Amino acid sequence: MAPRIRAPRSLRDRAGIWLGDYAYALQAERRSVRSRPDPVPFEKGSERAVLLVPGVYERWEYLLPVAQALNERGHPCFIVPALQRNSIPIPEAARLAGAVLRERDLSDVVIVAHSKGGLIGKHVLAFDDPDGRVAGVVAIASPFQGSSLSRLPLTKPLREFAPGRGSIATLAAEKVINEHIVSIYPYYDTHIPSGSELAGATNIALPLTGHFRVLAEPLVIAETVRAVAALPPRQAAELP
């Protein structure tokens, strides 16, 4: 049984989690600005291909620890260059991801995504993959039910996560494809108070905290690698 989502008791504990989380985000920003890794070497490999989709305001380098582990095990990893910092609406981002699948002629692909990227991956499964190129989605800390923090006076891209509205509502109605999604998440997420459990999906709740820094956690990386290899191909009758 998945652990119940709950906030740490003390303000000090919560503040410590936030600080550790943003320390990882700052490290990822430095990677993307100062010594940005070249994604091309990650495209080599003989195992199932992976398409990396980061979260809102993130570049693909946030997923670098996951990409390195997957590539070391033979999985070629591709990115969506036009996504940039992923500040465009989910449907537009999903169309960009679908275009990469076709342009690179990828098949039997697993989308490995963080946060908003998981919503983009589900949108691809539901609406943007008529050729059945995607086997499934492995989502890490994704707000499938939205986030109550979106009610705050935030930027437009962050307000897209309002529970029960817009893309969140549209994707929630697409229940059948949830069986092709693996949702991996910490028991306490600083940005998704209600958690990332998705009905009908394979839900993997881990004894971790945070939102960004979980991308470098060995537990998350191990479960992601396992899920990428284990997801079965989609059948023709299941395609959109």
Cα-flanking dihedrals φ and ψ of residue 34, to 5°? -85, -50
The pLDDT value recorded for residue 1 is 41
Say if CB 226 and CB 184 are below 8 A apart.
no
Residue type, 24: Y
In which residue ranges of the chain is pLDDT below 70?
1-11, 33-35, 150-154, 236-239
Say if CB 115 and CB 55 are below 8 A apart.
yes
- What's the rounded Cα separation, in Å, for the pair 202 and 184? 8
The pLDDT value recorded for residue 9 is 56
Residue 41: Cβ-neighbour burial (10 angstroms; 0-12, 13-18, 19+): exposed
- What's the rounded Cα separation, in Å, for the pair 137 and 8? 29
> How do strand 109-114 and strand 77-78 relate by DSSP bridges?
unpaired
If we measure between CA atoms, which residue out of 55, 136, 130, 64 comes closest to residue 90?
A: 55
Dihedral class, residue 124 (left if φ above 0, else alpha if ψ from -120 to 50, else beta): alpha
CA angle 44, 37, 25 (to 5 degrees): 120
Say if CB 143 and CB 119 are below 8 A apart.
yes
- What's the rounded Cα separation, in Å, for the pair 30 and 49? 27
The pLDDT value recorded for residue 175 is 96
Dihedral class, residue 170 (left if φ above 0, else alpha if ψ from -120 to 50, else beta): alpha
The pLDDT value recorded for residue 193 is 85
204, containing H or E segment: strand 202-209
The pLDDT value recorded for residue 27 is 82
Sheet strands (E) in 82-158 = 109-114, 134-140
